[in-house]
Amino acid sequence: MIDWLWRKMFGGTAAVVVHEADMERELRWARQSQQLAIQKELGISADDDIQAWLRLHQLLKSHEDRIAALERGALGK
């Protein structure tokens, strides 16, 4: 009865919606796992938001400094 009502209201089955929700949950879990692995590799603490933001800004500043040095070297030649 519920499946029939669901089809009438939404044009699909409840099982499809549940399957999509499961897929979305698995995707979210995979992304979070990847994020935590990258944070660990970069020395970012997942438990300390302030430290995480500071470390991200340090990495960005270091990256920008390297690009500037490369550009100065290329322009100096």
Mean pLDDT by runs of 10 across the 77 residues of the chain is: 71 64 91 92 88 92 94 76
* Model pLDDT, residue 73: 86
* Model pLDDT, residue 27: 92
* Model pLDDT, residue 70: 92
Taking residue 44's Cβ as centre, other Cβ atoms within 10 Å add up to: 19
Alpha helices (H) in 1-77, listed in sequence order: 2-10, 14-42, 49-76
Q: Where are the domains of the chain?
A: 1-42, 47-77
CB 51 within 8 A of CB 59: no
53 vs 60: CA distance, rounded Å: 11
Which pair of structure tokens corresponds to residue 53? 């933001």
* Model pLDDT, residue 1: 66
